[in-house]
């Protein structure tokens, strides 16, 4: 005999059960909205982010956190209860014992310079760059060169066979490098507990996935959580960790802005894929200078260190050409002799063009206005094109005098002698201003065989020209430079 209590209103009962089940599951899931630009969170969707001011960047993500499994050790044990820790108490700074630990020196002198003297133990380093620029090749080459250390290379983008193929092409010799193709942080930390590596490399942070967060890999929550776990591991174990990060179409690092705040060092690997030279630039460094750079040359067998970049930044030309001037620039602690190339021609299509490659276009327009107002050169109806040789992007104010000289040289079609270089800033009044660390610039120019260098007279006060074999010419106005050269 059928049960009338069950059959009666069966459809209505199933509908009520379905909605109760749905609301129960929704009660278990905790969701929040995160800004894809800066990482700010909000309990509801917002059109404009109040932190960074960007529009339509908030995305809903599902959160699932367990307070007992937030440490990297708990992630490695996969569910075992973590031990309670005693809360820290404030201590007078005079009572804190500090012992300086030696840095890990690599066989890569360019990387050592960029990091400030070597790898700091317990540091978290983020390396960003365009796709195909050579980030994975650089880190694998460093991992293979550290033969005296145990290195774990975690890859979430390539298989073990692909990494082995690249390692054979690099041909770095015998090494103590271990490869792990994994994207789950729990399994990664399990292997770390077993292997106990001295250096950890993760390629890339956007591919890692933590089971504590129920959002997709590469989302704001996943990137922040995975980075926090790796940061805690690095600080507690003293193991240096390298993270490879993707960048967006505008050149900034993908993910929340808090990612750059969490790490200790941010390195940018840049360069034109059509050229062979690559530049490793420091964006942030808690253990060294933030204006250092390293230069590499991409070859079929890997990346080659360029010990003397001034030789490659100065093109080998056979004869005097107009519109070419050499500037004694400075990037961090490294002096560089950079070639500036200018082309000035009559504007045949109405509005004159102003094009700049490797230099700030607004500053170029300012220098052109100074040349027209203070120097009397009629550049208002001329097309002006500026190029920094070697694919570099420079921001040193000492480039101003060389750029003005190259523009006037092309405008007058008079070549500047090849044994002359410049190192000075140009003001709005046409005055030649002093720049810092002029001794290093002069020494680099002398080492490369230049015979004359033009600097500001205000740099001459603290300078002894007799200490150099190169002729130091001091000027105060742009007109003095042009009268001597042209």
Annotated binding site for ATP: which residue ranges? Answer: 129-136
Binding residues: 129-136
Q: Could you give the CA distance from residue 240 to residue 242 in angstroms, rounded to a whole number?
A: 7
Burial class (CB in 10 A: 0-12, 13-18, 19+), 46: middle
278, 303 contact by CB (below 8 A): yes
Q: Could you give the CA distance from residue 236 to residue 73 in angstroms, rounded to a whole number?
A: 10
Helices (H), 198-330: 220-237, 258-262, 309-313
Residue 347's Cβ-side half-sphere holds a number of Cα atoms within 13 Å equal to: 15
DSSP string over 431-443? BEEP-S-HHHHHH
- C-alpha to C-alpha distances, 220 to 50, 124, 211, 227, 241, nearest whole angstrom: 17, 19, 14, 11, 20
Residues across the chain: 486
Burial class (CB in 10 A: 0-12, 13-18, 19+), 290: middle
394, 388 contact by CB (below 8 A): yes
339, 403 contact by CB (below 8 A): no
For residue 173, give the 3-state DSSP assignment: coil
- C-alpha to C-alpha distances, 435 to 45, 313, 360, nearest whole angstrom: 50, 21, 18
For residue 131, give the 3-state DSSP assignment: coil
Nearest to 237 by CA among 115, 395, 76, 361: 76
Q: DSSP secondary-structure letter at 465?
A: G
Nearest to 384 by CA among 395, 375, 16, 363: 363
Strand 293-299 and strand 277-285: pairing? antiparallel
Q: Could you give the CA distance from residue 403 to residue 400 in angstroms, rounded to a whole number?
A: 5
Q: Could you give the CA distance from residue 407 to residue 465 in angstroms, rounded to a whole number?
A: 28
| Distance from the Cα of residue 330 to its chain's centroid | 18
160, 181 contact by CB (below 8 A): yes
């Amino acid at each position: 005999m059928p049960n009338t209590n069950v059959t009666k209103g069966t459809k209505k009962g199933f509908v009520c059960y379905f909605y109760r089940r749905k609301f129960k599951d929704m009660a278990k899931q905790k969701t929040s909205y995160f800004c894809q630009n800066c990482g700010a969170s909000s309990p509801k969707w917002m059109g404009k982010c109040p932190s960074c001011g960007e529009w339509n960047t908030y995305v809903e993500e599902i959160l699932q956190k367990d307070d007992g499994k937030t440490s990297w050790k708990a992630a490695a044990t996969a569910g075992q209860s973590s031990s309670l820790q005693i809360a820290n108490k404030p201590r007078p700074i005079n009572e804190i014992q500090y012992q300086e630990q030696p840095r890990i020196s690599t066989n890569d002198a360019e990387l050592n310079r960029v990091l400030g003297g070597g790898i700091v133990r317990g540091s978290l380093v983020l390396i960003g760059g365009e796709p195909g620029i050579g980030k994975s090749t650089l880190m694998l080459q460093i991992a293979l060169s550290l033969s005296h250390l145990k290195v774990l290379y975690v890859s979430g983008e390539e298989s073990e066979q692909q990494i082995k193929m690249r390692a054979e092409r690099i041909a770095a010799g015998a090494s103590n490098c271990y490869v792990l193709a994994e994207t789950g942080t729990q399994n990664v930390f399990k292997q770390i507990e077993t292997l106990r590596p001295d250096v950890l490399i993760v390629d890339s942070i956007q591919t890692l996935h933590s089971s504590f967060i129920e959002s997709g890999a590469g989302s704001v929550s996943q990137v922040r959580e995975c980075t926090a776990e790796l940061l805690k591991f690095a600080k507690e174990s003293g193991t240096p960790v390298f993270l490879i990060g993707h960048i967006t179409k505008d050149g900034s690092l993908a993910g929340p802005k808090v990612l750059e705040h969490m790490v200790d060092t941010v390195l940018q690997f840049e360069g034109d894929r059509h050229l062979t030279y690559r530049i490793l630039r420091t964006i942030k460094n808690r253990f060294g200078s933030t204006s250092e750079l390293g230069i590499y040359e991409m070859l079929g067998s890997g990346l080659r260190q360029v010990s003397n970049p001034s030789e490659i930044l100065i093109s080998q030309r056979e004869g005097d050409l107009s519109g070419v001037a050499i500037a004694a620039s400075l990037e961090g602690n490294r002096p560089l002799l950079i070639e500036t190339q200018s082309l000035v021609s009559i504007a045949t299509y109405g509005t004159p063009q102003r094009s700049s490659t490797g230099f700030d276009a607004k500053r170029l327009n300012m220098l052109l206005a100074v040349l027209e107002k203070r120097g009397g050169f009629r550049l208002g109806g001329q097309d002006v094109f500026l190029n920094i040789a070697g694919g570099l992007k420079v921001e040193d104010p000492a480039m101003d005098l060389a750029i003005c000289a190259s523009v006037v040289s092309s405008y007058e079609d008079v070549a500047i002698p090849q044994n002359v270089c410049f190192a000075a800033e140009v003001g709005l009044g046409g005055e030649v201003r002093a720049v810092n660390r002029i001794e290093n610039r002069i020494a680099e120019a002398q080492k490369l065989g230049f015979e004359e260098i033009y600097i500001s007279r205000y740099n001459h006060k603290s300078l002894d020209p007799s200490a150099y074999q190169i002729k130091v010419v001091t000027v105060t106005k742009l007109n003095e430079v042009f009268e001597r050269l042209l």
